[in-house]
Amino acid sequence: MNYSLEVESYLNKLPKDRRQLIEKSLLLAYQFFPEDDCTLQIAYQMPALKYRGKPVFYIGNFAKHIGFYPLPATIAHFEEAIKRYSKGVIQLPVDERLDWQLVEKIIIFRREMFES
C-alpha cells in the first residue's frame, strides 16, 4: 500500500506485529470501499480511513490493544458483539486471536451506512 508521509511515519514507529494488524484492517476495508474513493490520513493522532471525505473508522496503536473506532452509531449497533472488547469503544487485543469476521461485519455495516 502507498501511504502519505504522515501515515507512513505513524506506521514506521510501530512494532511489526502492530503495523500488520492495522494494515490488515485497512486491506479488509478496501475490499468494501474503493481505494480510489478513500483517503488515509492522521486524525486524532491515529490513521483515519475516509470515504468520499467522511470517516469510515479510526485505528490506532495503544499500549495493550489496537483501538478501532468505527463511529458511535456502529458501536451502538454492535454493542452486544463487541462487549468482550470493551464498552463504547473497540479495543482489539494484540495478545490473542482477533475475530476478523467481526471486523469485517463492522466494515460492511459502515459501507451500508454510506449507501443509505
Residue with cell 463511529: 71
pLDDT in tens, 80-99: 999 888 777 889 888 888 88
pLDDT at 1 over 80: no
Report which of 96, 29, 12, 13 is spatially closest to residue 68, judged by C-alpha positions.
Answer: 29
pLDDT tens digit sequence for 48-66 = 999 999 999 999 999 999 9
Helices (H), the chain: 5-12, 16-30, 72-77, 79-82, 100-115
Pairing verdict, β 65-69 and 54-61:
antiparallel
- Residue 71 pLDDT greater than 90, yes or no: yes
Q: Would you state the pLDDT for residue 89? A: 82
Residues 6+ apart with CB under 8 A from 2: none
Q: What pLDDT score was predicted for residue 98? A: 82
Model's pTM, two decimal places?
0.92
The three cell numbers of residue 64 are 495493550
pLDDT digits (tens, 9 = 90+) for 9-48: 999 999 999 999 999 999 999 999 998 999 999 999 999 9
